[in-house]
Structures are given as structure tokens and as C-alpha cells.
Amino acid sequence: MLEQLTLGRYIPGHSWLHRLDPRAKLLLACYFIVIAFLTTNWLTYVLMFAFIGGVIFLTGLSFSYFVRGIGPLIWLIVFTAILQLLFTPGGHIYWHWGILMITSTGIQTSTAVFLRFLLIITMATVLTLTTAPLAIADGVEALLRPLRVIHFPVAQTALMLSVALRFVPTLLDEAQTIMNAQRARGVEFNNGGLIKRLRAIVPLLIPLFVGAIGRADDLATAMESRGYQGATNRTRYRVLKWHNADTIAVVVILVLNVVLVVLRHM
């Protein structure tokens, strides 16, 4: 069930985008989302979609990954767009019934909402498909580093994030094992009404929780025995390197921003 989820999954590869520094990718993805709101006329949309098309091409991944990534969210986007369409007053009124109406402004805003959503989600999918969770954790840590000024425990947060990521597959496996073990004892997970289903979750949740506490205890002992005295005075095995490619990516997105601003007034 969880393996089919494309959103947030990483596909190993060696494309130009895969090799970009995670810090650059995180920053640029966020920046792209911000400038996605600069789109106003069809020229800007054409530019943005051409850009994201180019980015998808650069990932070297099959287009179907992106379609599947957006698939589960398309209903949410369509729902939002329809609400925008039906409840926005202004401009020429084509049709109305009670408080519902379709106006020219409504058509414009709902199209804008739909297209911007599509841009943002595609970019987020590009980020997660081409960046290993570990690299994202490293990138987040590096970007949080300035917060040390206000005594935010950056190193501890980074360690927690990396341990949490490392245990996700382990705990998923354990959850699957417990589910099967409970099924063998006659627990039905996919039957009955809401209350019955919620009750069936208990024999899964409690062993999982107890198991996680046991694991945490073991892990803490193992870490202590290997000399972990806290986050201070540690060296780092993994370091992030900023390459020329990262600078190029930053320049490209800045150029995109300028062109967008110009096109917006045409």
C-alpha cells in the first residue's frame, strides 16, 4: 500500500539534477514556488510550463512518475479550482443560480489556481524524486544552521531527523509484521464501520509503540557505548559540496525571475 506512493519517493539516478547540491535544490524549489505567483498572463504560464518541462527532461526520469505523483492530488486541485470558479464575483456574469455564479473573473482566478498548483506540485515532485531523503535532511540542516544564533539545537534536530528517516522502513516492516500477526489471530483491519476499524488499529498501534520504545532504548545504549556525548565537538563524515552546477542553477532561476517580471507587464 505504502510502496505505491510516488509523492515524496526518491528514484536513484545520475542526472544533472540528481547531482545538484541538496541545499541548492531546496532553496531553488522554494524560490520557484514563490515566483510561481508572479504568473499573470498566458505568456508567463507558457514560460513557466516550458521551464518545468525542461526541468523534468533534465531529471532523466520517465514522465509517468510525475503523472503518478500528481495523480492523488489532482482531485484536491480540481476541487479548489471549482470552488474558485463558482464563488468568485466580478466581471461579466455568464451564469448564476442563487449564490453560485460563473463570471469572467472566476474563470481567470480558477485557471490561475489550477495552473499554479500544478507548477508547485510538479516542482515539489522533482525535488523529492531526485533527492535522497538523507540528502534532504543534510540540506535542511545546512539551511537551519544560521538559527544557531538564537540557540536552536540544529545538530540535535539534524540527528533526530536522520535517525527518524533511517527507522521509517524498519518501522514499516514491523507494522506489516504486526498486522499479519494480528490477522493470523483473527483481527480484521479492512472490515466493518468506522468504530470497528478504529478498534482494530489498537492491536497494531500498541505493539508498534512499545516496540519503538524498546528500539529507542537499545539505540541510545548503542550510541552511548560508541562514544556519543551529545552534539558538541563532533566531526562530520558527510559534507555537502557546492559545485559550479549549483551556481548555474541559481543563475538560471534568477534569469527566469527577471524574464517573468518583464513578461508580466506585456
Partner 1 sequence: MTKIISVDDLSYQYPDAERPTLNHISFEVNAGEWVAIVGHNGSGKSTLVRALDGLIDFKSGTVTVAGTKLSPESVWLVREHIGMVFQNPDNQFVGATVADDVAFGLENAGVPRPEMQHRVQDALEAVDMWQFAEREPSRLSGGQKQRVALAGIIAMNPSIIVLDEATSMLDPHGRQTVLSVLQHLRRSNQAPTILSITHDLSEAAQAQRLLVMDNGQLISEGTPRAIFSDEQLLESTGLDLPFSTKLSQQLAKQGLVTPKQYLTDDELEDWLWQSHLTM
> Which member of 134, 140, 187, 245 binds partner 1 (CB under 8 A)?
134
Does 209 bind partner 1 (CB under 8 A)? Our answer is no
Segment 212 to 241, residues that bind partner 1, using CB under 8 A: 214-215, 218-219, 221-229, 233-239
Does 19 bind partner 1 (CB under 8 A)? Our answer is no
CA–CA dist 40, 46 (Å, integer): 11
Does 165 bind partner 1 (CB under 8 A)? Our answer is yes
Q: How far is the CB of 72 from partner 1 (least distance, A)?
A: 24
Amino acid at 141: E
CA–CA dist 208, 172 (Å, integer): 10
Q: How far is the CB of 215 from partner 1 (least distance, A)?
A: 5
Q: Closest CB to partner 1 among 11 and 252?
A: 11
**Which part of the chain contacts partner 1 (CB under 8 A), choosing from 96-104, 166-174, 184-192, 256-264?**
166-174
Phi–psi pair at 24, nearest 5 degrees: -60, -45
- Please give the residue ranges that form the binding site for partner 1 (CB under 8 A): 133-134, 137, 162-163, 165-166, 169-170, 173, 214-215, 218-219, 221-229, 233-239
